[in-house]
Amino acid sequence: MRSAMRPADCIISAYRVHGWTYLMGVSIAGVLCELTGRKTGCARGKGGSMHMYSKNFYGGNGIVGAQIPLGAGVALANKYKGNGGVCFALYGDGASNQGQVFEAYNMSHLWKVPCIFVCENNGYGMGTSAERSSSNTAYYTRGDALPGIWVDGMDVLAVREATQFAIDYATKTGPLVMEVFTYRYSGHSMSDPGTSYRTRDEVQEVRQTKDPIMLFKNKITESGLVSADEIKKFDAEIKKEVDAATALSKSDTEIELKELTTDIYSANIEPKVRGTHVNQQFPHASLKRAVNL
C-alpha cells in the first residue's frame, strides 16, 4: 500500500501500528525507543505504542474503530485544501461492527470525500472468529452505497495494484471500501497465546503456503530480479540495523521530568498545565522535538 501512495496521501490506523510508523518515515530506533519510553522515540517516549505520528501519518488509536470517522475527517480536510490527497482509514474485522464505521461510510458518501476504508481482515477479532462476530463476513460489501473491492492481502503485488485503483477511484469519484484478507500468526496480545481458538496446524499451514514475504521472495528470485545471495545480504543488513536499534531502546535514557508537560499542544494557548489537583501547575513549553512537530 505504501508503495502506491503519493506525497499528499494520508493514513490513520489502530493500536500497535508500528510497521506503518516505520513506513511513514520514522526510523526503527524511533519506533523501538518509543515503545520503551526513551527520549530517542518519535514522541520522545511520551506516546508509547499508541501515539506515534509523522508527516501525513495520523498514528494509531486506542478506541476501537475511532480512527475510521477520524480518517473521514482527514480526507475531508484534503478535499477542503484541494491538495488531491486521499486518506486510508485502516481497521480490523474486529472493529468492523462498530456503529461509527457505518456513520463514517454514510457521511463520506454524502460529501464525496476521498477516503479509502481499508478493512484488514485477518479472520479473528482478538480471540473471536469473523464468522462468530459478523453476520456478513464479506466486509467489502458492507459499505451500502459505497463500492467495495476484495484483495488478497498475502499477495504484495495484488495489494499494490488494488491500492492504485482505490486511489484513482477515491480521487475522481469518492469513498470506497477495500477488504484486505490476511492472517495473524501470533496472538492478539501478550496475554493471548493464539492457540485457544485455532489449531497450531492452521497457523503452520498458512505460514508455509501463504506467507507474503516468502511468496514475494519466490516471485522476484524466480523472475531473475534478485539472487538468493542478494536476499541473504539484505536480511543480514536489516538484522544488523534492528539489533542496533533494539540495543539503543534498552540503553537510551528517559526524558527529564520537566519535559513531561511540553508539546501537549503544537501551539500553546495556556502557559500552565494543571497537575493532579487544581493548585498544582506546571509550565507548558514548546520544544518541538517530536518528529511530528
If 0-12 CB within 10 Å is exposed, 13-18 middle and 19+ buried, where does residue 31 land?
A: buried
pLDDT digits (tens, 9 = 90+) for 187-243: 888 788 888 888 899 999 999 999 999 999 999 999 999 999 999 999 999 999 999
Q: Is the dihedral of CA 30, 33, 34, 38 positive or negative?
A: negative
186: cell is 501470533
143: cell is 459499505
Say whether pLDDT at 265 is over 90: no
pLDDT digits (tens, 9 = 90+) for 40-99: 999 999 989 888 999 999 988 889 999 999 999 999 999 999 999 999 999 999 899 999
16: cell is 500497535
Instruction: Report strand pairing: 281-283 vs 148-152.
Output: unpaired
From 7, 130, 20, select the one nearest 67 (Cα to Cα).
20
pLDDT band at residue 35 using 50, 70 and 90 as cut-offs: very high
Angstrom distances, CA of residue 197 to CA of 129, 137, 138, 191, 293: 8, 18, 21, 14, 43
- The values of phi and psi at residue 128, to 5°, are -110, 125
C-beta separation of 113 from 81 below 8 A: no
pTM of the model: 0.92
Say which residue the cell 530506533 belongs to.
29
Q: Please, what are the domains in the chain?
A: 2-195 (3.40.50.970)
160 against 270, higher pLDDT: 160
Strand partners for 283:
272
